[in-house]
Amino acid sequence: MMTPEQIFLVQQSWEKVLPISQTAGELFYDRLTELVPQLENLIDSDHVEQIKKLMTSFNLVINSLNDPDMLKPVLELLGQRHVGYGVIETDYSAASDAFCWALKHSLGKDFTDEVQAAWLEVFHFLSDNMDTSKHSYIN
Ligand code: HEM
């Protein structure tokens, strides 16, 4: 799990992304569909609303990194809905790459190796809890 220092780095860099979250979100989607072209079929052509939803949920995740147990059930349900949207296991690592790419372009020199390592932890946490192939259900 993340160290307090990594949580701080993620929260600090997120503060810098927030004012440009729409642009950062556009970069993310462009890069994601470049990496996985099939996802273009899932992502709305006018994806302004979708970026807002994504950034709002990131905001919740990042502000709650100190309390991961609170997030787990929320992410598990979100992950189940993503199965319905057609998102598969490997899309999560593509999303991680695309998001780091967007952060690098948005933050420039502030996106240091330490900041990147901290964000990769966030994505491990997201895919561990959203990717339904990684957890078992109580049916
Ligand atoms: C793995 C790559 C991902 C893909 C391809 C993807 C794709 C989608 C699609 C197709 C929708 C439905 C759009 C709609 O009609 O509202 C959606 C909704 C949503 N996504 Fe993602 N998503 C991904 C990852 C994530 C991640 C990592 C988060 C947040 C941590 C997230 C948060 C949301 C939210 C909050 C919604 C709104 C609907 C709901 O709450 O179920 N997505 N996503």
Task: Walk along the chain (139 residues) in steps of 10 and give the mean pLDDT of each run.
Answer: 94 96 93 94 80 92 95 95 93 96 96 97 95 66
Q: Which domain CATH number covers 100?
A: 1.10.490.10
Q: Does 73 map to a domain?
A: yes
What is the rounded end-to-end Cα distance, in angstroms, of the chain? Answer: 28
Residue 115 in any domain: the answer is yes
Nearest-atom number in ligand 1 for the CA of 91 is 1
d(CA 78, CA 130): 7
Burial profile 47-81: b = 16 or more Cβ within 10 angstroms, e = fewer:
eeeebeebbeebeebbeebeebeebeeebeeebee
pLDDT of residue 139: 40
Is the residue at 120 inside a domain? yes
Q: How much is the pLDDT for 92? A: 95
Domain membership of residue 139 (yes or no) is no
Structural domain boundaries, residue 90: 4-134
Q: Is residue 88 part of a domain?
A: yes
Q: How many domains does the chain have?
A: 1
If you measure from the C-alpha of residue 54 to the centroid of ligand 1, how many angstroms do you get, rounded to a whole number?
A: 6
Q: Do residues 96 and 120 touch, judged by C-beta distance below 8 A?
A: yes
pLDDT at site 134: 76
Domain assignment present for 82:
yes
According to the model, what pLDDT value does residue 136 have? 57
Within-domain flag for 12: yes
- Centre of ligand 1 to C-alpha 82, Å, is 6
pTM of the model: 0.89
